[in-house]
Amino acid sequence: MTILDLLNQSANRLSEAGVADPRREAASLLAFALDKAPAFLIAHPEYELTDDEAARFDGLMARRANREPFQYITEQQEFYGLDFEVTPDVLIPRPETEILVEEAIRELNKLNELNTLRELTVCEIGVGSGCITVSILQNVPAATAIATDISEKAIGVAMRNATSHRIADRLTFIEGDLFAGVTEKFDMIVSNPPYIPDADLTDMQKEVRDFEPHSALFAGADGLDIIRRIVNEAPEHLNRGGLLLIEIGFGQSKVLGDLVDPSIWSKPEFLPDLQSIDRVLKVRLR
Ligand SMILES: C[S@@+](CC[C@H](N)C(=O)[O-])C[C@H]1O[C@@H](n2cnc3c(N)ncnc32)[C@H](O)[C@@H]1O
């Protein structure tokens, strides 16, 4: 079968399976199956797939039609200009998380300008694929980090990403619950913790609900179980004037604004995402 025929057929199959943007997805998957740039499909619509290529594409297409996320099929996701390995043991990095990363890098660079001789220290809670800390360390050579996760398998993925991006010598991993085993104090704590209310499970896209790790997504009735604990425990692990940056969910800023104790923290700031949703809580230890 030719590329053109196959694209039409697969786009229909994905559309019937309920995949959003089926034509683009079919094209991306075909380019991946053929190990070619997407432009190859446009330049060679008449190309006939070999039997091996057709079988490989069919296998990948069956997975996507079952609504397995594209990124788990290709085992790759781009984040902050870097390629990350992803497996079903980790959350697929989301573009909105780049807001937190950008702010962390900006603040660390400011600190670095004040004292270029000092090592900057960062702690991440819930490292997952490593996308946050690896991106920060890549962009701030004076920084070192400790990253924790409750999932041993997630830490394995993050380790591989740290190695492939050549920052592993500045990153230490601890497997455990939040700050368990962390004895140091840091200039900055960052986290994109689970923050989805448990009851939202039923309304979620199949790709997320059936394939992404629930321990990376859900955090109690209002989604704030883990964030509350991080806000309570973070002061013990921050230097004076240290920053806490936490990604938060839709509609959570109001409750969090009231939760932050003004005798411990500066007035909370909320950084918006592109849809003007408050996406990152930023507070400084007094
Ligand atoms: C939303 S994912 C974020 C992953 C990655 N940092 C990112 O931004 O893509 C949350 C991560 O927190 C981890 N996690 C959940 N509960 C935890 C806990 N009590 N202590 C440490 N890590 C936890 C999960 O295993 C998951 O890897």
> For the chain, which residues make up each domain, given as ranges?
3-66, 78-284
As given in the structure block, the two tokens for residue 13 are 């199959």
Residues 138 and 170: their CA atoms lie apart, in Å, by: 10
Ligand 1 pocket test target in 76, 151, 175 with most atoms within 8 Å of CB: 151
Ligand 1 binding pocket includes 34 (Cβ within 6 Å): no
Identify the residue whose tokens are 């591989």: 160
Q: What value does the mean pLDDT take over residues 140-169?
A: 98
Q: Is the pLDDT of residue 190 over 90?
A: yes
**For residue 226, is pLDDT > 90?**
yes
Q: What is the mean pLDDT of residues 19-34?
A: 97
Question: Cα(first)–Cα(last) distance of the chain, in Å?
Answer: 66
Cβ of residue 125 lying under 6 Å from some atom of ligand 1: yes
Q: What residue's CA is closest to ligand 1, atom 17?
A: 150
Q: What is the pLDDT of residues 47-64, one digit of tens each?
A: 999 999 999 999 999 999
**Residue 129 Cα, ligand 1 centroid: separation in angstroms?**
9
Please indicate whether residue 71, judged by its CB atom, sits closer than 6 Å to ligand 1.
Answer: no
Distance 206 CA to ligand 1 centre (A): 20
Per-residue confidence (pLDDT) for residue 286, from 0 to 100: 96
φ and ψ of 22, to 5 deg: -65, -35
Q: Is the CB of 128 under 6 A from ligand 1?
A: yes
CATH number of 78-284: 3.40.50.150
Q: Indicate the pLDDT class of residue 148, thresholds 50, 70 and 90.
A: very high
pLDDT given at position 116: 82
Q: Describe the crossing of helices 3-16 and 51-65 by its angle, rounded to 10 degrees.
A: 20
With 90 as the cut, is the pLDDT of residue 115 above it? no
Task: Name the residue of 127, 217, 248 to mutate for ligand 1: max ligand atoms within 8 A of Cβ.
Answer: 127
Question: Comparing C-alpha atoms, which of 96, 150, 75, 148 is closest to residue 277?
Answer: 96
162 lines ligand 1 (CB under 6 A): no
Residue 178 CA: nearest ligand 1 atom is 20
How many angstroms is it from 194 CA to the middle of ligand 1? Answer: 6
What mean pLDDT is reported for the chain? Answer: 97
Instruction: State if residue 161 touches ligand 1 by the CB under 6 angstroms criterion.
Output: no
